[in-house]
């Protein structure tokens, strides 16, 4: 913004002692307008700025006041307007005083508003003013003012035809005079622009009335080059996390924020836990092998376990979580004397046949367990203990030892082994049934009973030697009778009355009684013990 003339105030004069004026400030001013205060008084007197008024401070231009012999003394101050309308008060001590203000806008707002100045005077009283200045401006676009006075006692402006070939836009801004005092006087302010810093040149002015002249030129400088500064704030960009890959068997540990986990698929390793936050986490890793006797630990969800089959070792429990776990492994061997412990369900055990050892138990849970093991050997004289059922006992023929018992539960037991020797003098104890005693001839000892259950017992062996009874030991032959019962033909002692159908052959010491033609040897020391009554 170039320097421009704002306005000028009216002149103030006083020709009566005490000489004092308060010139008005120009109208329409704006902040930082530069106000030029000009006062003229007698060159022999002194003017004093006694009150600043609204503009403060006032600064005298260097070289001011300028006095000229036979003329008036010229005072020039500058001040920066901010606000207010009160003009300064200036007093003088001699003859008269005249003062006025003028203002320019667009000047430098710093303290160096007066770029340069120079004063001069002409004591010769004439109507021409020529002020050949010797100074130059230092900045472009200064406004150069010429301020000069006169000693003409008149209320009419005295100046005109201002010129300066170094300047442009020469314009008179103030030209006042007064006849107050003896004589009065006045002054002018003329401006000219100096676009390029340089010499101010020579001012010329024509006065209406010849006068001595005092003058001053000054250059108002424009504002210095404006320097705008914009402190640039910091821009911050935050990256909220790279995608985290979930490594095998590792946990993801992160503060709760907008962390996104979209990493690679998590493989579930053997016997490792999968630790992941709740969400859309997908677990599709490699199949999990179910190790022997190890637990599968997994979060509830869509986890699918299709690993290799779990081998069920012999004699070891299989521990698996409830679910769709499928066990199709190799067959489990049922070891001797070991238990099969398995959870209830569709578990199928079809292993090798179970051997039923001698005198050992088979322990198995109730169910479809099939036991088809080898036959159990029934040793002679040993009891066979087995659960009721379809047990098949088809082993080697059990030998029924002489004088030993066969103890067996009731049922379809078949004993077809070799003929059991019925020892002499021993009891045959056997349950009723189709038992066939066809063994070697049993010695029926004399005096001993044949104890047999009533039934179809058939004694078909070789001829039985009936030994003399030992129930009654006698040294002499004694009488006994043989009573016929059923199909058995009794044998009579020699003293007994024999039936007619039996031929009596009795001799002392050794008599033979024939029963149905079969000889029976009887001694006197023995009797026949049978179902016969003696």
Partner 1 sequence: MATFNKFNQFVEDVAEKVHNLGADALTIALSNVAPVATNSVLANITEIAYTNLSARAVTISSSVQTSGTYKLTCADLVLTASGAVATFRYVVLYNDTPTSPADPLIGWYDYGSGVTLANLETFTVDFDGTNGVLTIA
**Cβ closest to partner 1, residue 228 vs residue 410:** 228
CB-count burial class (<10 Å; 0-12, 13-18, 19+) for 522:
buried
Among 28, 83, 134, 227, binds partner 1 (CB under 8 A): 227
**Cβ closest to partner 1, residue 225 vs residue 280:** 225
**Cβ closest to partner 1, residue 233 vs residue 389:** 233
- Please work out the total of residues on this chain that contact partner 1, with binding judged by CB under 8 A: 16
**What's the angle, vertex CA 194, arms to CA 139 and CA 168, rounded to 5?**
170
How far from 385 is each of 359, 405, 409, 451, CA to CA, in Å?
7, 15, 9, 27
Contacts of 412 (CB under 8 A, 6+ apart): none
Per CB under 8 A, which region of 192-200, 236-244, 316-324, 332-340 contacts partner 1?
Answer: 236-244
458 contacts partner 1 (rule: CB under 8 A): no
Interaction with partner 1 in 242-271: which residues (CB under 8 A)? none
How far from 280 is each of 244, 302, 304, CA to CA, in Å?
15, 11, 16
389 contacts partner 1 (rule: CB under 8 A): no
Among 83, 134, 226, 500, binds partner 1 (CB under 8 A): 226
Distance CA 117, CA 58 (A): 16
Distance CA 383, CA 398 (A): 11
Per CB under 8 A, which region of 77-85, 166-174, 222-230, 245-253 contacts partner 1?
Answer: 222-230
The nearest distance, CB 259 to partner 1, in angstroms, is 16
Per CB under 8 A, which region of 121-129, 237-245, 423-431, 464-472 contacts partner 1?
Answer: 237-245
Q: Extract the tokens encoding 47.
A: 């003017």
Question: What binding mask, one character per residue, do residues 322-361 give for partner 1 by CB under 8 A, x or -?
Answer: ----------------------------------------
Which residue carries 């090798």 as its tokens?
A: 352
228 contacts partner 1 (rule: CB under 8 A): yes
Which residue carries 């030998």 as its tokens?
A: 399
230 contacts partner 1 (rule: CB under 8 A): yes
The count of other CB atoms within 10 Å of the CB of residue 302 is: 8
The nearest distance, CB 234 to partner 1, in angstroms, is 4
DSSP codes joined into one string, 83-134: S--PPPEEEESSS-EEEEEEEEES--SSTT-EEEEEEEEEEEEEEEEEEE--
The nearest distance, CB 110 to partner 1, in angstroms, is 15
The nearest distance, CB 104 to partner 1, in angstroms, is 18
Per CB under 8 A, which region of 194-202, 230-238, 253-261, 270-278 contacts partner 1?
Answer: 230-238
**Cβ closest to partner 1, residue 233 vs residue 279:** 233
462 contacts partner 1 (rule: CB under 8 A): no
List the one residue out of 492, 471, 474 whose CA is nearest residue 483: 492
**Cβ closest to partner 1, residue 232 vs residue 280:** 232
The nearest distance, CB 239 to partner 1, in angstroms, is 7
Per CB under 8 A, which region of 231-239, 248-256, 420-428, 434-442 contacts partner 1?
Answer: 231-239
231 contacts partner 1 (rule: CB under 8 A): yes
411 contacts partner 1 (rule: CB under 8 A): no
The nearest distance, CB 226 to partner 1, in angstroms, is 4
DSSP structure class, residue 336: T
The nearest distance, CB 139 to partner 1, in angstroms, is 10
- Dihedral (CA of 279, 285, 289, 291) sign: negative
Question: What binding mask, one character per residue, do residues 1-20 give for partner 1 by CB under 8 A, x or -?
Answer: x-------------------
Among 18, 28, 235, 517, binds partner 1 (CB under 8 A): 235
Distance CA 415, CA 428 (A): 15
Distance CA 318, CA 296 (A): 12
The nearest distance, CB 258 to partner 1, in angstroms, is 15
CB-count burial class (<10 Å; 0-12, 13-18, 19+) for 474:
exposed
The nearest distance, CB 224 to partner 1, in angstroms, is 9
Decide if 215 contacts 66 (C-beta within 8 A): yes
Per CB under 8 A, which region of 88-96, 198-206, 225-233, 289-297 contacts partner 1?
Answer: 225-233
DSSP structure class, residue 197: S
β partners of residue 368:
none
**Cβ closest to partner 1, residue 229 vs residue 302:** 229
Distance CA 409, CA 430 (A): 11
Please report how many Cα atoms fall inside a 13 Å half-sphere around the Cα of residue 407, on the Cβ side. Answer: 8
Among 83, 134, 229, 344, binds partner 1 (CB under 8 A): 229
How far from 160 is each of 202, 204, 520, CA to CA, in Å?
15, 9, 201
How far from 301 is each of 271, 274, 283, 350, CA to CA, in Å?
18, 12, 10, 33
Per CB under 8 A, which region of 232-240, 255-263, 385-393, 426-434 contacts partner 1?
Answer: 232-240
The nearest distance, CB 42 to partner 1, in angstroms, is 45
92: alpha, beta or left? (left if phi > 0; alpha if psi -120 to 50)? beta
Which residue ranges make up the site for partner 1 (CB under 8 A)? 1, 225-239
């Amino acid at each position: 913004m170039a320097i421009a003339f704002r306005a000028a105030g009216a002149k103030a004069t006083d020709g009566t002692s005490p000489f004092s004026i308060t010139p008005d400030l120009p109208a329409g001013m704006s902040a930082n307008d530069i106000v030029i205060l000009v006062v003229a008084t007698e060159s022999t007197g002194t003017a004093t700025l006694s009150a600043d008024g609204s503009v403060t401070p006032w600064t005298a231009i260097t070289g001011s006041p300028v006095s000229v012999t036979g003329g008036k003394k010229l005072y020039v101050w500058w001040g920066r307007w901010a606000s207010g309308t009160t003009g300064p008060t200036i007093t003088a001590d001699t003859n008269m005083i005249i003062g006025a203000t003028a203002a320019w806008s667009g000047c430098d707002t710093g303290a160096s508003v007066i770029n340069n100045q120079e004063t001069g005077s002409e004591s010769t009283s004439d109507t021409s003013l020529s002020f050949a200045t010797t100074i130059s401006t230092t900045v472009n676009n200064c406004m150069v003012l010429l301020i000069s006075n006169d000693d003409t006692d008149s209320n009419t402006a005295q100046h005109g035809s201002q010129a300066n070939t170094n300047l442009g836009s020469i314009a008179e801004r103030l030209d006042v005079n007064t006849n107050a005092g003896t004589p009065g006087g006045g002054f002018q302010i003329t401006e000219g622009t100096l676009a390029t810093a340089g010499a101010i040149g020579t001012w010329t002015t024509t006065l209406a009335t010849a006068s001595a002249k005092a003058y001053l030129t000054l250059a108002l400088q424009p504002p210095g080059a404006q320097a705008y500064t914009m402190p640039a704030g910091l821009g911050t960009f935050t990256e909220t996390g790279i995608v985290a890959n979930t490594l095998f068997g590792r946990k993801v540990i992160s503060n709760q924020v907008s962390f996104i986990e979209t990493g690679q698929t998590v493989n579930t390793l053997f016997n490792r836990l999968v630790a992941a936050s709740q969400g859309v986490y997908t677990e599709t890793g490699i199949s999990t092998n179910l190790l022997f006797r190890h637990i599968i630990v997994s979060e509830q969800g869509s986890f699918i376990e299709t690993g290799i089959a779990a081998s069920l070792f012999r004699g070891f429990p299989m521990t698996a979580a409830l679910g769709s776990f499928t066990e199709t492994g190799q067959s489990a061997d049922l070891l001797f004397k070991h238990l099969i412990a398995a959870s209830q369900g569709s578990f199928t055990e079809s292993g090798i046949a179970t051997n039923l050892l001698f005198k050992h138990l088979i322990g198995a849970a109730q169910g479809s367990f099939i036991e088809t093991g080898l036959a159990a050997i029934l040793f002679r004289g040993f009891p066979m203990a087995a659960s009721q059922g379809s047990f098949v006992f088809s082993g080697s023929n059990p030998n029924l030892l002489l004088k030993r018992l066969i103890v067996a539960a009731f049922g379809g037991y078949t004993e077809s082994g070799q003929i059991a020797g019925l020892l002499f003098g021993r009891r045959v104890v056997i349950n009723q049934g189709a038992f066939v005693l066809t063994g070697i001839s049993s010695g029926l000892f004399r005096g001993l009973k044949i104890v047999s259950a009533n039934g179809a017992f058939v004694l078909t062996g070789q001829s039985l030697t009936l030994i003399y009874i030992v129930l009654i030991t006698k040294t002499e032959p004694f009488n006994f009778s043989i009573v016929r019962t059923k199909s058995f033909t009794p044998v009579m002692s020699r003293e007994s009355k024999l039936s007619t159908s039996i031929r009596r052959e009795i001799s002392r010491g050794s008599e033979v009684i024939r029963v149905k033609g079969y000889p029976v040897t009887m001694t006197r020391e023995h009797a026949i013990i049978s179902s016969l009554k003696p």
